[in-house]
Structure 1
């Protein structure tokens, strides 16, 4: 049942082609993240004035918020080439050495999902970031010899969705660290209108606002919803996207007013109707909706918690008052509704067959 989700922030094959056309090319054109943009602008322009490579940059935040776009903009602002790779692709120290040894002076290396890089490569990266050299090991066993190899000065841009998984020594070697927040609906509305112009989509301001509000604070989702609304408008109307048409299209694709999709609502409905609002263990809840526990925990829960619809407590998952209201259900008198995401219910049945609810 784990089908591709329209509101998933992960990049799909279709997104890769479309995103390339929609990405802003300059820092001034990047919408949102004002604090990060201003700080990054100072770092880059200061380095250009001094004629030096800028400090290494670490970008953290959820998927789809623009980390790859910022890496491309950094290279463009510096007027240097960009090399792109990812942590999972660096399986051995030799893989990293092969990349670093071929970098040109001032080149920008974008390392996505840096927290998933192999430990031996990670230790090699320490030396490369600080001293711009790597030690290449020749031979095996007692006769192995480490040969120091100088590399060109480069700027590393690391991206991670899980900054807490980065070891302290690696995190400390970045001169500039930025956390990217979720976008406000007004910012996403600007992004939707800009993308509509680039895609040749005629869209009313009210329709752009409707798409933006349901995009879960993520530009990638906003652009994806825009494309689905465009398809609906072209097939079932005259191609112009109005607010009523956008609502009809998103209803067809099962994305409701709060941005919840089928899986999100299934999790909430099971929690409310089968378990009285909880608390209930993760595995039990996942079985009730026919999904794997990891799917519920990683795919559905983060947004439900962020919207204040679900709370993760020491006793299990608990629905909040907002969850009952969202689905139009009345909580039973015995339901102890948490007032915040960290509060546990005072009463209510315990459906926690899991020993590790989190």
Structure 2
């Protein structure tokens, strides 16, 4: 008969001695471009919850949770942040540990390919610390199931060796908090979603909030910017702070080369025109989508794959990057037969609006 697997219960501190190096050392990030973008983002990110602009209701609820956590002196309950890209999920995740005066570890769903990739983060977590998992909906099923016991019971089991020489370590973890960020909450399994005590959804920002963000971040970049220029950038960033920061950085570069360093309304307009971003935030690819749908398909309906071939752009790029903003602003419509241009979309590209139902754009 085969021998039973040896079973031993230990703690995370013991595991750091017993486990191989690859199970105790988190992998270091190696993408230079992503590191540069992260450095820029961190330069502009607020450090306290009171400094976060926008998301007022989310901030109020989080403040209550943080105050209660400090009063009880217990770890924060697991938190899920949901919303489109660029709205501040990572910003909130970095602010929370500072509010609680604790540590944070960063990883992402695609980086955790197997349970062993998750172990170093769990065993290195101190009591009350935060583990931030970006794009958590992309966790492989095996890693997700392995995370269940860590989140619920603060315990993980590790099998060392193979066959008759295998032994199992049941590792007790220090109580910690998982903060998950996702752009597609519908892809999360119900068991994982239910393990988050707190769930918050972030929404798009209005122009006033984005103008304030641009003005504050311009000061952090040591750039002078007029109120009109800040508002112009805010109008064209599609309600997204990350896009506002990227446009601000471009306007700063343009101003240093062509405007003496000061971002005026004229400089901002010239910089954004050079980037081919119009008054409503549409770029060249968005406008080409609209004109192709109008010129080639007389306004639609046209299927996604047909549009993809006509534009020589992958279908998933159209669906994930181009169409969401056009749908949100009421310039196109999805129908069972395909995509169609609304009257507002015809008007936006300067074509005669067809006489049919009175669709309206969010632009007014």
The answer, yes or no, to whether TM exceeds 0.5 is: yes
Task: For residues 1-48 of structure 1, give each alpha carbon's deviation from its aligned partner in whole angstroms, at most 9, with x where no partner exists.
Answer: xxxxxxxxxx96653221111100000000110111111111111011
The reply to whether residue 199 of structure 1 matches residue 221 of structure 2 is yes
The reply to whether residue 269 of structure 1 matches residue 306 of structure 2 is no
Distance 1:212 1:93, change over 3 A: same
- 1:121 partner SS: helix
Shift of 1:147: 3.3
Distance 1:292 1:142 in 2: 50
Distance 1:215 1:339 in 2: 23
Distance 2:159 2:204 in 1: 43
Distance 2:358 2:297 in 1: 15
- 1:170 partner SS: helix
Preserved contact between residue 330 and residue 359 of structure 2 (Cα < 8 Å):
no
Which of 99, 109, 115 is the matching residue for 2:137?
115
Structure 1's unaligned 5+ residue stretches are 1-10, 342-358
Which of 66, 69, 86 is the matching residue for 2:108?
86
Distance 1:203 1:340 in 2: 33
Shift of 1:331: 3.6
Query: Which residue is equivalent to 1:339?
Result: 359
RMSD: 1.8
Query: Which residue is equivalent to 2:328?
Result: 306
- 1:135 partner SS: strand
Map 1:179-258 → 2, pairs under 5 A: 179-258=201-280
Shift of 1:98: 2.6
Query: Which residue is equivalent to 1:327?
Result: 349
Distance 1:184 1:340 in 2: 19
Distance 2:70 2:34 in 1: 35
Preserved contact between residue 276 and residue 332 of structure 1 (Cα < 8 Å):
no
Structure 2's unaligned 5+ residue stretches are 1-32
> So what's the TM-score if we normalise by structure 2?
0.87
Distance 1:14 1:320, change over 3 A: farther
Preserved contact between residue 311 and residue 340 of structure 1 (Cα < 8 Å):
no
The reply to whether residue 173 of structure 1 matches residue 195 of structure 2 is yes
Preserved contact between residue 344 and residue 359 of structure 2 (Cα < 8 Å):
no
Shift of 1:59: 0.3
Query: Which residue is equivalent to 1:37?
Result: 59
- 2:300 partner SS: coil
Query: Which residue is equivalent to 2:26?
Result: none
Task: For residues 232-258 of structure 1, give each alpha carbon's deviation from its aligned partner in whole angstroms, at most 9, with x where no partner exists.
Answer: 212112222121221111111100001
Query: Which residue is equivalent to 2:117?
Result: 95
Distance 1:13 1:325 in 2: 41
Distance 1:252 1:85 in 2: 36
302-311 or 93-102: bigger deviation: 93-102
- 1:259 partner SS: coil
Task: For residues 74-109 of structure 1, give each alpha carbon's deviation from its aligned partner in whole angstroms, at most 9, with x where no partner exists.
Answer: 110110011001111111112112321121111110
297-306 or 138-147: bigger deviation: 138-147
Distance 1:263 1:14 in 2: 26
Query: Which residue is equivalent to 1:4?
Result: none
Higher-Rg member (1/2): 2
Query: Which residue is equivalent to 1:344?
Result: none
Distance 1:12 1:286 in 2: 28
Preserved contact between residue 121 and residue 131 of structure 2 (Cα < 8 Å):
no
Aligned residues: 329
